[in-house]
């Protein structure tokens, strides 16, 4: 017996919504994704600032950063 994934069930449920409801759902999901990305970025910024404050990193120019990344 094949199991249906949560994602597949969600798609089936969305397919039963009217087009207007699907568009509204897209708007809500997009806003949630934006909020989640914003929160994730804020956390990464806090972490980077804390690392900088205790001396675990130093400011570098964009060219230095690129050289470090590509080496």
Residue 2: the pLDDT is 61
Rg of the Cα atoms in the chain: 21
- What integer pLDDT is reported at residue 69 of this predicted model? 92
Low-confidence ranges of the chain (pLDDT < 50): 1
Q: Residue 24: what pLDDT?
A: 99
- Cα 66 to Cα 13, 49, 63, distances in angstroms: 45, 20, 5
């Amino acid at each position: 017996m094949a199991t249906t994934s949560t994602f597949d069930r969600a798609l089936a449920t969305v397919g039963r919504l009217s087009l207007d409801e699907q568009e509204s759902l897209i708007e809500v999901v997009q806003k949630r994704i934006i909020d989640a990305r914003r929160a994730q970025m804020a956390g990464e910024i806090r972490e980077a600032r804390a690392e900088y404050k205790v001396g675990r990193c130093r400011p570098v120019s964009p060219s230095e950063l690129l050289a470090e990344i590509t080496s």
